[in-house]
Amino acid sequence: MSDHVYKKIELVGSSPKSIEAAVENALVRAKKTVRNMRWFEVTETRGHIQDGKIDHWQVGVTVGFTLED
């Protein structure tokens, strides 16, 4: 593990339900093209309002994954 190189990508996931679900949705989508995802970090938590209520959350996520040799 001491010689790994990681790459970080920045995503924004959405969900009408919760912050956690917005992060999960981002990872579900990323999994289609990115392998070896290791960790994530929430960078911003925002959302859209409709008729005075939270319509959906938008959560910025930085995802780190191992670059294979």
Residue of 17, 45, 18, 14 lying closest to 27 (CA atoms): 14
Q: What value does the CA radius of gyration of the chain take, rounded to a whole number of Å? A: 14
The site for a copy of itself, by CB under 8 A, has a size of 52
On whether the CB atoms of residues 14 and 54 are closer than 8 A, the answer is no
Residues 6-65 close enough to bind a copy of itself by CB under 8 A: 6-16, 18-20, 23-31, 37-42, 44-49, 52-57, 60, 62-64
Residues in touch with a copy of itself (CB under 8 A)? 1-16, 18-20, 23-31, 37-42, 44-49, 52-57, 60, 62-64, 67, 69
